[in-house]
Amino acid sequence: MENGSVNHEVETASTITIKGILSVLMQNVDENNSKRLISLGMGDPTLYSCFHTSHVAAEAVVEALQSDKFNGYSPTAGLPQTRRAIAEYLSCDLAYKLSSDDVFITSGCTQAIDVALAMLARTGANILIPRPGFPIYELCATFRHLEIRYFDLLPEKGWEVDLDLVEALADQNTVGIVIINPGNPCGNVYSYQHLKKIAETAEKLKIPVVADEVYGHLVLGDNPFVPMGVFGSIVPVLTLGSLSKRWIVPGWRLGWFVINDPCGMFKNPKIIECIKKYFDILGGPATFIQAAVPRIIEQTDDGFFQKTINTLKQTLDICWDLINEIPCITCPHKPQGSMAVMIKLNVSGLEDIGDDTDFCFRLAKEESVIILPGKKQIKLDTYVQQCYHQHTSFNLCDLQMKSVYCSGVKELGSDHFCCRSTLSERSIREVKNFLQKAQQANASAILEKSKIFEHGAKPHTVYQQPLIATAIS
């Protein structure tokens, strides 16, 4: 890079982050609009009164802070008792036992993502990333000079991985494959059988699996949550997770990077030493937060987790029913987990809306509702994402997208869009009204167009936008 110039690749990647897109959309909100701003851009359930962390979690943090024992630096890999507690917690779902040496504490799952990609990166390497997926992977890969190769998730199969495409994309320079389960933004929860096929495919290609399980155990459908680490004897698995979602504490920034490798295929001493040295330059979570983790994990009762699941199930069911009432919107598969859903927008019946980006900017300007377009990431043209973790006095998700149930930006296509946050009755009404106005305007335009034909004139305007993509393939 020349002095004074900007790395274009990095700059491009940064534009697909959730916060970056959200900032641009916020600038488009009409300040003179009297409607209260409803932002569906950030999937933070703590903003809404129906979600709280457990009393045990709060008490554990206070106890650690007031003890005056945890005001100094922690070891760079994390407090020993914290690493041990997380190893025991994750081992509950495995046929083998993790040790504290397998666990490294990170500042949230985002830092764990960066660690994983940094450890895999090398000159000329590429990594396989799901589409739809989580934009931070693209950003981290670009900074690490990793070539990104996208494999598709198949909506007609519950957003399963297209394993044939994975094999076609991989080559001798492929260093890993990213699997997000439960899925963000699709809401998928993969079966044991499908996860085993993924592991077997990765073993065939001789690449490790990066398993993003930040939504682990947040399951709302029939498929139970199966950690990718279950298949650690088939292929090395780098498990990424955090307290953020399951304990409703995203601001505590307590995450982990874990090596699931019972056969020792990945645990080369040089690799482990490299990981340790990399953590020497990282800043982890506050020491007192780390110190609270053993009690948080050990004493949080199942009732707390079930209450969160029940709330998400209720809002999901409401949102699912409402999706089917909103014109121009469909959802290919009811989410089974996490806090996100992908929704398809049919722009062919809407006037002056050519794609997901148009829709999002119009919605922000006219209705003061923020949703996130997915065009850049998925390369299709008709999807949306929402979160469904908020409630209003009507027991609905506290709106954040105006059509379905939101939770994270992912790049879809020219008439797809994604969003993060929640849904409310007001937003449902406004989305319906917005779509109905657009349809009525389109119908009026078509009527005017027919009048032109009656007089033998050639129409000079295309009033109905063609649907670029009607399905994901």
425-454 and 356-367 helices, crossing angle to 10°: 110
Give the Cα separation of 174 and 166 in Å (integer).
11
DSSP strands (E only) in 166-231: 174-180, 209-212
Q: Both tokens of residue 372?
A: 């996130």
* pLDDT of res. 28: 85
80-91 and 287-299 helices, crossing angle to 10°: 30
- Name the average pLDDT for the chain: 80
* Section 141-161 average pLDDT: 95
Q: Both tokens of residue 454?
A: 């009656």
Give the Cα separation of 473 and 453 in Å (integer).
37
pLDDT at 170 over 90: yes
147-154/160-161 β-pairing: antiparallel
The amino acid present at 355, given as its one-letter code, is: D
pLDDT digits (tens, 9 = 90+) for 100-119: 999 999 999 999 999 999 99
* pLDDT of res. 435: 62
pLDDT at 457 over 60: no
pLDDT digits (tens, 9 = 90+) for 311-329: 999 989 988 898 888 888 8
pTM for this entry: 0.81
DSSP class of 101: G
Please give the angle made by the CA atoms of 307, 335 and 350, to the nearest 5 degrees: 125
Please give the angle made by the CA atoms of 102, 104 and 110, to the nearest 5 degrees: 130
- Domains delineated in the chain: 11-50+304-438 (3.90.1150.10), 55-299 (3.40.640.10)
Which positions ≥6 away from 457 have C-beta within 8 Å? Answer: none
pLDDT digits (tens, 9 = 90+) for 408-429: 222 223 233 333 333 445 555 6
**From 59-63, 150-154, 155-159, 360-364, the region with the lowest mean pLDDT:** 360-364
